[in-house]
Amino acid sequence: MPKEGANLFVEPDCEHNSQEHKGCSRPKPGEVIKGCAFQGSQGALVPISDSAHLVHGTPGCLENSWGMLLRGSFGVSMTKFAFTTALTKEDIVLGGEKKLLRAIGYIADRYHPPCIFVYATCITLLAMEDLDAVCAEAEIRWGLPVIPVHNPGFAGSMNMGHRLAGEALFEKVVGTATGKPLKSAAYEINLIGEHHFAAEGKEIEALLARVGIRVLSRIAGECTYRELKNANCAKVNMLVCSRSMITLARKMRDRFGIPYFEGSFYGSREIRFSLRQLAFHFQDAQLDRKIHRFIRKEEERLKKDIALSFRELKGKKAVLFTDGWESWVFLSALQELGLKIVGIGTNKNAQEDLSRIRERAAAETVLEMDADEKKMLKLYRERRADLMIVSSRNAYVPLKEKIPFLDIDQERTSAYSGYAGIRRMGQDLLDVLEQPVWRLVHRKSPWEGDGYGSGF
């Protein structure tokens, strides 16, 4: 990782960096992390659908991120192609720079993308490959942007990968448009997310369009290279649920004068806050009135639907066993549906995530730090909860214990954004609680008495 990358561990706009020993921690040798910087960068950049993405490393690195490459994209997408230099032992010993140059030439001549992103990996950094020099030579030879992304896995976690991807975009893409600008609209914003944002961005964009706000680009969401080049034309940047790319937002504010704020679209209270923040930044009376009418209308409809369709959820107790932003982002929606959040178990959260949990959770909610399976099961039983809400990596815990649970994976997460998302979440929760399997699994076997035939 280049020397300037080390500065990303300390971000001036993160509150915890003003506290001693509270900045973003560097990974230690042998430390187990849930995702590496390479995965984080790919998650943020692969949704750029018309660009080519070349992994300079062994085939294993490409296979490790294959799920990200399978994301659907609109239009003609380059992301369905997986490119790698597939370095061998001989390449690592003798050097893989010539092979990288040939790979870039192959992509440029055969597919003609507007841009090629080249991802560094642990192997290429250890072999001291000069990625910048090769990419610069390729730009001159083939006449298209070839952007190096310095994101070896041991540089940090997925969050660090998002920041490194933001650095590449800021230095090489944003504000580089030279031709005719895109057609301007009165209210234009950029949405900035992270790896879960590709599908979620569509839901948010549709909601904003109803109040007349246009999304110019979706950074870390589905977009095109041209849209990102014109991202400096937006009036406001909105960080959606995540602060992992806050460095990009801060630098765009400093260079282009684009203010930014953080918001969420999970739950009507969060939507109301985000829309009012947009109205505040645009300082337009007509837009403010339109947003106010839209919020009032949608919230009235939502309250009626909750009262009619989801009244069985009122008073049900839930325990959350999630990590990162998932630990707080759904709290407002769950509370609006009538659930009581009696416990939250989480691991490796940033200070800001913990602050958001405390702001949204009720006073009686138990927050379990460094949660594991035993702690969460004990909390579930002591608080007499009715179901557990887990992120995909923790789904095996309630499954083994035969506990009703809702698995909030990345695909389902995007379905819960916006007003329609609250209704979808309510229906999914009802489906979980009404499943007869949770009663059947606790009945005794026929040979133990009280068998399955009893009562029929």
pLDDT in tens, 131-145: 999 999 999 999 999
Within a domain: residue 423?
yes
Is residue 200 pLDDT above 80, yes or no?
A: no
Calpha distance 273→257 (Å, rounded): 23
What is the share, in percent, of the chain residues with pLDDT greater than 90?
Answer: 48
Give the CATH number, domain containing residue 407: 3.40.50.1980
Q: What confidence score (pLDDT) does residue 58 get?
A: 86
Residue after which a domain boundary falls, among 306, 332, 350: 306
Within a domain: residue 24?
no
Q: Indicate if 410 and 343 belong to the same structural domain.
A: yes
Q: What confidence score (pLDDT) does residue 16 get?
A: 55
Token pair for 93: 């010993």
What is the share, in percent, of the chain residues with pLDDT greater than 70?
Answer: 83
Pairing of strands 52-55, 83-84: parallel
Distances, alpha carbon 37 to alpha carbons 7, 40, 57, 454, 456, in Å:
15, 5, 14, 56, 57
Q: Which residue has the higher pLDDT, 324 or 405?
A: 405
Distances, alpha carbon 181 to alpha carbons 13, 130, 175, 228, 258, in Å:
31, 34, 11, 12, 17
Give the CATH number, domain containing residue 299: 3.40.50.12380
Q: What confidence score (pLDDT) does residue 198 get?
A: 61
Calpha distance 447→445 (Å, rounded): 6
Do 157 and 43 form a contact (C-beta atoms < 8 A)? no
Full residue range of the structural domain in which residue 393 is found: 312-440
Residues 355-412: tens digit of each pLDDT: 889 899 988 999 988 888 899 999 999 999 999 999 877 888 998 999 999 998 766 6
Specify the range with the lowest mean pLDDT, choosing from 45-59, 81-95, 327-341, 400-414. Answer: 400-414
Q: Which residue has the higher pLDDT, 32 or 149?
A: 149
Residue after which a domain boundary falls, among 271, 306, 341: 306
Q: Indicate if 279 and 392 belong to the same structural domain.
A: no
**Nearest CA-CA partner of 16 in 366, 349, 369:** 349
What is the pTM assigned to this prediction?
A: 0.86
Q: Indicate if 148 and 48 belong to the same structural domain.
A: yes
Q: At what angle do helices 97-111 and 131-142 cross, to 10 degrees?
A: 30
Residue after which a domain boundary falls, among 287, 306, 325: 306
Q: Indicate if 15 and 163 belong to the same structural domain.
A: yes
Q: Indicate if 210 and 162 belong to the same structural domain.
A: no
Q: Indicate if 235 and 284 belong to the same structural domain.
A: yes
Task: Determine the Cα angle at 151 with ends 147 and 155, to 5°.
Answer: 155
Task: Classify the phi-psi angles of 177: left when phi > 0, otherwise alpha if psi is within -120 to 50, otherwise beta.
Answer: beta
Q: What confidence score (pLDDT) does residue 244 get?
A: 82
Q: What confidence score (pLDDT) does residue 160 get?
A: 86
Q: Indicate if 116 and 202 belong to the same structural domain.
A: no
Residue 156 CB neighbour total at 10 angstroms: 26
Q: Indicate if 260 and 163 belong to the same structural domain.
A: no
Q: Place 424 in a pLDDT band, splitting at 50, 70 and 90.
A: very high
Residue 110 CB neighbour total at 10 angstroms: 10
Is residue 347 pLDDT above 90, yes or no?
A: no
Q: Place 59 in a pLDDT band, splitting at 50, 70 and 90.
A: confident
Count structural domains, the chain. Answer: 3
Q: Indicate if 300 and 316 belong to the same structural domain.
A: no
Calpha distance 123→38 (Å, rounded): 12
Place of tokens 């009376």: 285
